Structure 1
């Protein structure tokens, strides 16, 4: 057993998403210790340290939903059910452990393929 929590294709797809999305390592480290919503992310005083380019709350929510679908994030649950806040999953922690510093940025080809996969998930 190699210690991975899921199959290699899912890990590769999620790793590619982490490199392609405009979210910095600081964002993933924050959701590893506390839940945050897309609105909270965009309103945070230090919001610039969480992404490479500015995000609107709707665009941030779109990225969070994609990361949930890939298994990197999950919605937090409270006494009333699911909330709008997200947290890092064990798979997300595993992926972050692969890079000691800032997440490496994807090249143009990988970003194009990621965009196609995001719009056509079966690719």
Structure 2
């Protein structure tokens, strides 16, 4: 149940557990913070994130196939951090941050040393595995 922040028309207030889940999912993802910083300014296609180009650009922590990359990005869509870019023809293969994603990225930029603990990874795994299908 998000509420509009009256100080800024561009930011929303999210429940603390929503922000915590989004932050945990982000730090447990196979992507580096610089990918999400790039997504703040422009949409990024999956081709620039997957395979060698993702590692060379510093977007990924390790080499990812296009399928693994798309699955990880889809999870971040379900959490509420990302959205797919849409053009006049329909949905594209590019991704952009949501307002929740912008808030989490701003927080992680202020505290860049946040890394995933074993507890974060376990909780993220359980959340992904046992979530309801709707």
TM over 0.5: yes
Contact 1:24 1:103 in 2 (8 A): no
Identify the residue that residue 41 of structure 2 maps to in structure 1.
Answer: 33
Normalised to the residue count of structure 2, the TM-score between the two structures is 0.80
Structure 2 unaligned blocks of 5 or more: none
Identify the residue that residue 89 of structure 2 maps to in structure 1.
Answer: 80
Higher relative contact order by CA 8 Å / sep ≥ 6: 1 or 2? 1
Aligned residues: 122
> Which structure is larger by alpha-carbon Rg, 1 or 2?
2
Structure 1 segments (4+ residues) deviating >6 Å: none
Which residue, out of 93, 101, 126, partners 1:116?
A: 126
Identify the residue that residue 117 of structure 2 maps to in structure 1.
Answer: 107
Cα RMSD of the aligned pairs, angstroms, is 2.1
Contact 2:54 2:63 in 1 (8 A): no
How many angstroms apart in 2 are the aligned matches of 1:21 and 1:84? 19
1:63 and 2:107 matched? no
Normalised to the residue count of structure 1, the TM-score between the two structures is 0.86
Listed as ranges, the matches of 1:17-32 within 5 Å are 17-32=25-40
Please list the CA deviations of residues 2-38 of structure 1 after superposition, one character each: whole Å capped at 9, or x if unmatched.
9653222211111110111121110101111111222
CA separation of 1:101/1:24 partners in 2, compared to 1, >3 Å: closer, same or farther? Answer: farther
